[in-house]
With several copies, the nearest count.
Chain A
Amino acid sequence: MKQPAISKQAANNQMGLQLNDFVIKLANVNGTGSASANGLLSKTIFRMGVPISAKNFFPSNIQGLPTWYEVRVSKDGYQARSGRVDVMVAMNAETYADDVAEVSAGGYLLYDSSWPMNKELLRDDVTFLGIPLAKHCAAEFDSARVRILMKNVMYVGALVALLDLDIAVVEGLLEEQFAAKPKLVPLNMRAVKMGYDYAMEHFNCPLPVRVARMDVTHNQIMMDGNTAAGLGCMYAGATVGAWYPITPSTSLMDAFDGFCQRFRQDPETGEKHYCVIQAEDELSAIGMVIGASWNGARAFTPTSGPGISLMSEFIGFAYFTELPAVLFDVQRVGPSTGMPTRTQQGDVMMCAYASHGDTKHVCLYPADPEECFYLSVKAFDLAEQLQTPVFVLSDLDIGMNEWQCPELQWDDAYQPNRGKVLDAEALDKIERFYRYMDIDGDGICARSLPGVHPKGAFFTRGSGHNKYGAYTEDPDQYQEVLDRLTRKFKTAASVVPEAVIHQQNGVTDAVIAYGSSDCAVREALDRLKEQGMHLNYLRIRAFPFGEEVEAFINAHQGVFVVEQNRDAQMVSLLTLETGVDKNKLVPLLHYGGFPLYAEFVVNQVSAHLNKRKNA
């Protein structure tokens, strides 16, 4: 019993007004220039003062495969995926059937009606909005490439009408984008208008699903985590970056390089106050970082899981020789090559214990691009203070998607914490320099930099050494150093960023999460609260855990730990590295490769709580 779906009326009938609270998803083909049109759409909403979040779902190839862009408009500022699709822009014939199926009941589907549509795929509960994009663009534009690009811009124009967007904002954005090629502005605006006019003429615009100006984004930016982290590295004063390209970490070094070109390269002489080295592989990249750190520069490498696996031997070297190193693991789906363009938190255990022998490493878990910036800076301070590798575990979702976040702040009083480094003056004063003497009792020894002073000369080795820094194969001397490293790791727990805690007295259940799960969890907690389920929340920001983590778990009856991996890796870390009762920790695991969304957490938590209630 099919109805004529493409009617002017249908659009307004199906459900009530959804103001600034809906999802629009765009299904495209990789490499067809849809990214910039889709960005235009999301930025327009953002500039209208309305909070959004935008996510890209793209294949591991360069051109020709399906790709999706999902914009969530959320007046409450929720950044996670919502799990629903209110408006689908279905531009990819290959995925059309799936895309139709994905629209939430009562939603809309915009398609290119240049060709007859496949009636079999019609749905009663979805309003189909056909626009003859290809036909119009073919009539309007000359070259094949322009036609393809303008098709995208044209559907943006239609959405301006359908969603009640401000066309002046669109124009402003285009002007900025094409500041260097102003001729392109009218061309693009022509396409926008084509879409706009068609929609106004044929549909009942705007839809109930629509945007209305707000004023809550003026202190906000849209930035991806890799950009923020690259920026953080520059602000931290890093001068040496070594890397080997790998999705999804590549754009981190691109960002660092770009910012440094802008701020640290002499425009006249071309002289650079930084050095980025594209290494031949990850084994080499981490070696370069360690070499540079040994020599006193702040150095880092961005990579992803396979890179960390390859770096394992060197990571143990840095741990045992106590050299700083900052590693960004922008996690993707493992094991092995896995799904390079999907997100996961699968490297938690590996990073915490990487390398053979007894090793433990400091890890930071930024929740979003904003924190990527701040924790990048922190990572360098910790690496130098603790003289050890520090991992920043971001993921594809944070690293490669543009998130809305508060404008980044900088305190000009900040000075890098270089840790216990003896300068020439200090070396001159001391009788003799011993590299691994724990003078302060915190497990951290003073180091010296090559070339600074004859008295600082010292031979760094990954083989057995005693507290004086000499080679040893003696059990006691070796063990003394190893035990001090345990002490140092205890110190680390007291200096890493504390967990973020949201709690109310009297609440017995809680949720723990970390990294990119944060936004979905916070939304889920709001919704659970609406349903009468109050839970406290702790977000882990670092390993080793501060005391507050154990105290929090102990203070609750049941603790759900939300993770994006199969094996409950953070639960493992908590079980091993705190005194808590592991049976208290209930893992909620989401690891298919798409970012977590609130509903998953809501469903799982409420199912558990209801089960307990009924038990």
Chain B
Amino acid sequence: MSYISKPVARHPGQKKNSLGLTARDYEGGMSTLCAGCGHDSITAALIQAFFELEVPPHRVAKLSGIGCSSKTPAYFLSASHGLNSVHGRMPSIATGANAACSDLTYVGISGDGDSLSIGLGQFAHAMRRNLNMLYIIENNGVYGLTKGQFSASADIGSKSKRGVPNRFEPIDPVLTAIAMGGSFVARSFSGDKQQLVPLIKAGMAHKGFALLDIISPCVTFNDHDGSTKSYKYTRDNFTEVTHADFVPPAQEITIKYDQGSVQPVTLHDGSRIYLRKIAEDYDPSDRSSASAYIQSHQEKGEVVTGLLYMNSDAPDMHATNQTVATPLRDQDYSVLCPGADALKALQHGYR
């Protein structure tokens, strides 16, 4: 008995990208999550983003921890290497993987439990190192897989299914990321593909740690009245402060922007983000004011979304380490081993 079914054709259209691949080639195994789970919408957005970005699937490494959310990597890009690690420890796996090979695309999928409780330390320190990866938190305010306990992202007053309100201060992934040195910090909603897909693309193109916190309702344990992570609550309180459009390298800009409100940001790979401010008084390039803005608006119950902070100049882990361009795992052994003569010579110092 094996219950893994083949990928289901969710994209009957056969549109191909420049690699000759269809969207179906970016799909994965059939989801085993609950029908309606926000996580599955994120999967769909990821598939679309990868397809449109025209990434060769096998050049992507998908990483995760443990949780319903952490199962996501099994549901997209079945032609990629994936690693489902242990609970809360995906960031360290990503760090090591990236250290070994700098030229793959790393996407990590985690949950609010996985990243903010057991994994908080690793999450924070991966950001400190400005590890080059897209890190998605599928944030539902609960532990789905263990059946609905509050997670650290549950808001004060948000009610459990049995009606008991959470009383502990939430740990907000976005504020944490800004405080810990994340160089690309965004929030979105699983129900808003429009906003989500360009953010995924931009996060992937960003050279450094891109955090994408996605409110992703748990229909089974946290989608009721009184929950502040339900579909309804999120829709009602969704506040977009910036809108980011993503334009891949060397693509003609077709959309016309009203100059004043739009800020183009060119990334390392030549792609551009066109950042449109929706909240006038919001400045996504200023850490302290951005975080004060988000904090005060969230205190009012708003779900502040968009590309919230970005610094495309911060050196990533390899830049800080001064690692050579050719991935370490591909270095020829002759480059790594100084050989017998050198060994003989260096031992003079031990006499």
A–B direct contact (CB < 8 Å): yes
Q: Which residues of A contact B (CB under 8 A)?
A: 31, 43, 46-47, 59-66, 94-95, 98, 220-223, 227, 231, 234-235, 237-240, 242, 244-247, 250, 259, 262-266, 269-297, 299, 306, 313-314, 317, 336-337, 407-412, 414-416, 448-454, 456-463, 466, 470-474, 477
Chain A residue numbers with a CB within 8 Å of B329 are 239, 292, 295-297, 449
Max count, chain B CB within 10 A of own CB: residue among A63, A94, A295, A466: A295
When C-beta atoms are compared, the residue in chain B nearest to A299 turns out to be B96
- Shortest beta-carbon contacts, A-B, top 9: A287-B92, A291-B96, A297-B100, A288-B96, A450-B81, A281-B118, A292-B96, A245-B146, A291-B93
Cβ–Cβ contact B86 & A271, under 8 A: no
Residues of chain A lying within 8 A (CB to CB) of residue B346: 231, 259, 262
Complex interface: chain B residues within 8 A of A274 (CB): 328, 336
User: Do B125 and A272 have beta carbons less than 8 Å apart?
Assistant: no
Q: In the bound complex, how far is the Cα of B150 from the Cα of A109, in angstroms?
A: 42
Q: A47–B3 Cα gap in the complex (Å)? A: 36
Which A residues touch B342, using CB under 8 A?
263
CB of B149 within 8 A of CB of A278, answer: yes
Chain B residues near A277: list those with CB within 8 A. Answer: 95-96, 99, 129, 317, 321
- Give the residue of A46, A240, A245 whose beta carbon is less than 8 angstroms from that of B143: A245
Using CB atoms, name the residue of chain A closest to B117: A280
Please state if A284 and B92 are interface contacts (CB–CB under 8 Å): yes
Interface bracket on B? 35 or more
CA distance A430 to B128 in the complex (A): 42
Which of B31-39, B43-51, B263-271, B303-311 participates in binding chain A?
Answer: B31-39
Nearest neighbor of B104 in chain A, beta-carbon distance:
A451
B89 touches A272 (CB 8 A): no
Chain B residues, CB < 8 A from A295: 61, 96-97, 100-101, 104, 329
| Residues of the A chain whose Cβ atoms lie less than 8 Å from the Cβ of B103 | 451
For the residues of B in contact with A, the DSSP-based class is: mixed
Are A284 and B84 in contact (CB-based, < 8 A)? no
The answer, among B80, B89, B333, B339, for a CB contact under 8 Å with A314, is: B89
Complex interface: chain A residues within 8 A of B32 (CB): 59, 61, 64-65
CB neighbors of A among B44-77 (8 A): 56-59, 61, 63, 66, 68, 71, 73-74
Q: Please report which residues of chain B, range 283-324, place their CB below 8 angstroms from some CB of chain A when the two chains form the complex.
A: 317-318, 321-324
Q: Give 18 CB contacts A-B under 8 Å.
A: A61-B145, A64-B35, A65-B3, A234-B338, A263-B342, A271-B322, A272-B321, A273-B331, A277-B129, A288-B93, A291-B97, A291-B99, A296-B100, A297-B328, A317-B85, A410-B339, A456-B81, A471-B74
A275 B323 Cβ-Cβ under 8 A: yes
Cross-chain contact A412 with B81 (CB below 8 angstroms): no
Chain B min CB distance to A118 (Å): 17
Q: Which of B117-154 contact A (CB under 8 A)?
A: 117-118, 120-122, 124-125, 129, 143-147, 149-150, 152
- B255 contacts partner chain A, Cβ-Cβ < 8 Å: no
* Complex alpha-carbon distance, A294 and B35, angstroms: 33
> For A291, what are the chain B residues with a Cβ–Cβ distance below 8 Å?
63, 83, 92-100
Q: Which residues of B contact A220 (CB under 8 A)?
A: 351
Given contacts A453-B58, A456-B58, 13 further A-B contacts (CB under 8 A): A247-B146, A250-B147, A262-B346, A272-B321, A273-B328, A288-B92, A290-B96, A291-B99, A407-B347, A459-B82, A471-B3, A472-B2, A477-B2
Cβ-defined contact, A460 with B121, below 8 A: no
Q: Which one of B122, B324, B338 lies within 8 Å of A287 (CB-CB)?
A: B122
In whole angstroms, how far apart are the Cα atoms of A276 and B318 in the complex? 11
Contact of A222 among B1, B220, B351 (CB under 8 A): B351
A466 surroundings in chain B (CB, below 8 A): 2
Residue B250 CB within 8 A of the other chain: no
Question: A95–B1 contact, CB under 8 A?
Answer: yes
**Interface presence of B181 (CB below 8 A):** no
Q: Indicate if B10 sits at the interface (CB-CB under 8 A).
A: no
Any A CB within 8 A of the CB of B256: no
- Asked if B122 and A62 make an inter-chain contact with CB atoms under 8 angstroms apart, the answer reads no
Closest residue on chain A to residue B101 by CB atoms = A295
Contacts of A234 in B (CB 8 A): 336-338
Q: Are B86 and A337 in contact (CB under 8 A)?
A: yes
Of B56, B91, B147, B347, which one neighbours A221 at CB under 8 angstroms?
Answer: B347
Alpha-carbon gap, A98 to B3, bound state (A) = 12
Q: Could you tell me the distance between the alpha carbons of A276 and B317 in the complex, rounded to whole angstroms?
A: 11
Q: From residue B152, how far is it (CB to closest CB) to chain A in Å?
A: 7
Chain B's closest residue to A288 (CB) is B96
Contacts of B216 in A (CB 8 A): none
User: Are A271 and B118 within 8 A (Cβ)?
Assistant: no
Q: Once the chains are docked, how many angstroms separate the CA of A337 from the CA of B96?
A: 20
User: B34, B57, B150, B333: which contacts A62 (Cβ < 8 A)?
Assistant: B34
> How many Å lie between the Cα of A149 and that of B338 in the bound state?
37
Taking a contact as CB atoms under 8 Å apart, the answer to whether B84 and A462 are in contact is yes
- Residues of chain B within 8 A (CB-CB) of A262 are 346
CB distance from A186 to the nearest CB of B (A): 23
A237-B97 contact given A283-B89, A287-B85, A457-B58, CB 8 Å threshold:
no
Q: In the complex, A408→B35 CA distance in Å? A: 41
Closest to B32 in A: A61
- The reply to whether A451 and B33 form a contact with Cβ atoms under 8 Å apart is no
**Nearest chain B CB to A426's CB is how many angstroms away?**
15
Among residues of B, the one whose C-beta sits closest to the C-beta of A282 is: B118
Which B residues between 8 and 39 are near A, CB-CB below 8 angstroms? Answer: 32-35
Shortest Cβ distance from residue B21 to the other chain A in the assembled complex, whole angstroms: 10
Q: Tell me if B190 counts as interface (CB < 8 A to partner A).
A: no
Residues of B within 8 A of A314 (CB): 86, 89
Considering only CB atoms, which chain B residue lies closest to A253 in the complex? B149
Quote the shortest CB–CB distance from A450 to chain B (angstroms). Answer: 3
A284's partner among B4, B125, B317, B339 (CB-CB below 8 A) is B125
- The answer to whether A284 and B347 touch (CB under 8 A), given A234-B337, A451-B59, is no
Q: Are B125 and A279 in contact, CB atoms less than 8 angstroms apart?
A: yes
Q: Are A416 and B333 in contact (CB under 8 A)?
A: yes
Find out whether the CB atom of B93 lies under 8 angstroms from the CB atom of A94: no
Q: How far is the CA of A220 from the CA of B318 in the complex (A)?
A: 39
Give the CA-CA distance A356 to B329 in the complex, in Å.
31
CA distance A477 to B350 in the complex (A): 37
- Nearest chain A residue, comparing its CB with the CB of B5: A94
Q: Determine the residue in chain A with the shortest Cβ distance to B61.
A: A450
Residues in B whose Cβ lies below 8 Å from that of A454: 56-58, 79
Q: Does B78 contact A (CB under 8 A)?
A: yes
* Closest A residue to B336 using CB positions: A237
The smallest beta-carbon distance between A66 and chain B, in angstroms, is 7
- B248: which A residues are within 8 A, CB to CB? none
